[in-house]
Chain A
Amino acid sequence: MNIEILKALNEERAARRAAIVVTDTATGIQRFVKGADVAKDPLRETLEKYLRMGKSGMEETPQGNVFLTVHVPPPRLIVIGAVHISQALAPIAKLLDYDVTIIDPRTAFASPERFPNVKLIAEWPEVALPPLNVDKYTAFVLVTHDPKIDDPALVHALERDCFYIGALGSRKTHGRRLERMKALGIGDNQLARIHAPIGLNIGAISPPEIAVSIMGEITARLRLPPEKQP
């Protein structure tokens, strides 16, 4: 491997951006593909599949066997609202290898007693979010039920192109949310990205069950191609 490729790969990884090294194992010929450039690559569909799986692997191509060294940033989960659902969501997400951060300006909710061993920020989203460098490898969940807290966070998540954005609330609540977002000038394409009501429809009732349905939906968004989304 050329040192320049290795250097570029390490730089992309440090910046939380996806990258792939394509190696022809018979000849040693290699190329470096940034995640953002995958759409321009001749192996586009294959590379997209590998990025979704987040795994390296050997692939047969018309030009021979190539090994794909795939690096995808570890996913993060940001939860707006230190509520009962979040108490179940945090440990489940941790098991699934997400780096979890919970944000809620209400200090009675965002208390370490309620959230042991979780990164907790008792600030308004406008203050808490900018330093977090929210990116497309972030799943974003809004569960406060309070527009004062949820709405600014939702705008931020849409701007940062999070791979999953889910918001708690009935269809009626969500309808009102959409009206508020439209009033801010956010387009229908963007608004269609919001998963609401949040979670897969598995008949969840208790907060931990709702947490399971949310993590199921996030997993599907992360791993399934667009045409197979539930």
Chain B
Amino acid sequence: MLRIDRSIYDKIVAHARRDHPDEACGIVAGPEGSDRPERFVEMINAERSPTFYRFDSREQLKVWREMDERDEEPVIIYHSHTATEAYPSRTDVSYASEPNAHYVLVSTRDPETVEFRSYRIVDGVVTEEPVEIVEQG
């Protein structure tokens, strides 16, 4: 299961809407081993494409180093699909390389409806998991 604060959930959805019709992507970092997504990091889609995304390699190095220094890991890796459902594509699965991460997919195909789903992708096997949104008091 993915537990995520409302404020971070809203930031991911807002990023996906803002970059539509291109795919948006980013991560949410958290302390290593904690499974707590805490630090939202929007990434550049180096492809600037409605059908593909790829983290800019220099920006990725910078962000991964920051995580290293803070003893963090990417708890969530998110991206959007702009015309199809929020389900990992074959390309998504072939690139998935963080067995501990929650892969979040947001679809922006319908401007009125939020589709926000989370998956584990391990050795090419996709498993959907429930998303619990934690409302802050």
Chain B associates with chain A: no
Name A's B-contacting residues (CB within 8 A): none
